[in-house]
Structures are given as structure tokens and as C-alpha cells.
Amino acid sequence: MPVKYFWRQAHERGHGYSPNLHSIWDSAILERDSEGADPGEYAEMLEANFGGTIEGWQKAGVHVDDWVWESHEDAETTVYGDLTPKVAIEPNVPVHSCSDDNKIGERLLQEHITLGEAYQGQAAPVVERRVEQAGVRLAMILNEAASTAR
């Protein structure tokens, strides 16, 4: 989904659009949130922010289906829920490129979806939580795998 992100205007690039919502969530929100901190500094900040909840995540155990539903909830409430303007729900059809589904990419480009400071402010805490959860949960999976390999 093509979006304007702060000063970066959405434009067609190859067989897609840049910036797009997926790339913004993959890296741009995190990069802006980290404010130039190196990975170690950012990890320390996350540890400080979420130190009190890590034990609860660990006690919950490895339940991938639950984690997927958490992501789905974040997508509904924050990723798509806070877009301006609101995006209509499309019919569920197979889409392999931005030209499929009656040129979905071009139609969304014409919506002029803009993500700025307000969106960043709502998205950054979600990204922070999900990054910290991913680290904790990956460690749980690796520990479990290591213990069964002995």
C-alpha cells in the first residue's frame, strides 16, 4: 500500500510503490524511533521499558498461534486502524502485484495516505513491544530446542 511517510512522497517503483506501508513497518518506524542509537543502546532501552513484563511473556510459554493473533490485533488497531484517510476493506481476492485487483496499488496511491508524527507516535510503542517480544520469544524457542537436543 503506497503511503507518504513524513517528507517521503509515495511513487511507483519497479512493480510496486515506495514508500509503502509494509516497508514503513519493517524498518522506518524502528529507525526513526531509535533516534540514531546503536543496536546495543536500543536493546537496553527496550529492556528498561519492558523489564517488568518479560517474565510474564516467558511464563506464557511458546504458543505461536497466540503470537499470530496478537499481530493480527495490532494490525487491525494500529497498522491499519490509524491510517488517514481510512482505507476501505477490499474484497478478499488473490493479489500478486500492485496491478492486480483492478490496479489496487494505483487506486491506493490516489488515496494520498499520509503517515506523520501522530502515526509514528502511535506505532512506535507497538514496534518496541513487538521487537522486545520477538527477542524474548526467540530465546525461548532456542532454549527449548537446545534442551531437547541434549
- The pLDDT tens digits for 44-62 are 999 999 999 999 999 999 9
Q: Mean of the pLDDT values across residues 108-131? A: 94
Q: Which domain holds residue 21?
A: 4-149
pLDDT at 101: 67
Rounded to two decimals, the pTM is 0.86
**How many domains does the chain divide into?**
1
Q: How far is CA 4 from the centre of its chain?
A: 16
DSSP H or E run through 48? helix 39-60
